[in-house]
Amino acid sequence: MEIRKIKSTSNQLELEITGEDETLLNPITRVLLRYDDVEYASIIVDHPTSDKRRLYIRMKKGSSRDPITALEEAIKEARGELEDFREQFQKNKTA
């Protein structure tokens, strides 16, 4: 996986991610969209056969967080949710 910053301002972030697809990016985007101060979060695919995806985040005006901080928090939260899922699966796979 390779990550390249395309755009970074106080309220917008656009990253190009090579070598990953929506499997990794969808959970992060879904968490971002739950945040009240995130106005927009999306995965952009220029072509279906491309191995490049762009993650775009725009914060609402007046947000006290920048998009990098929101992304870091969303990654931690998505990771926690996946860990919870794994634990529940482990408990129930023998039931």
Q: What is the CATH number of the domain that holds 63?
A: 3.30.1360.10
Cα-trace Rg, the chain: 15
What does the alpha-carbon distance between residue 17 and residue 25 come to, in Å, rounded to a whole number?
9
What is the number of H-type helices and E-type strands within the chain? 2, 4
Residue type, 14: E
Q: Give how far the C-alpha of residue 46 lies from the chain's centroid of Cα atoms, to the nearest Å.
A: 18
Prediction pTM value: 0.88
Question: Which range marks the domain in which residue 81 is found?
Answer: 2-92
For 40-92, the pLDDT digits (tens) are 999 999 898 899 999 999 999 999 999 999 999 999 999 999 999 999 999 88
At 95 the pLDDT is 60
1 is written with which tokens? 């996986």
Count of domains in the chain?
1
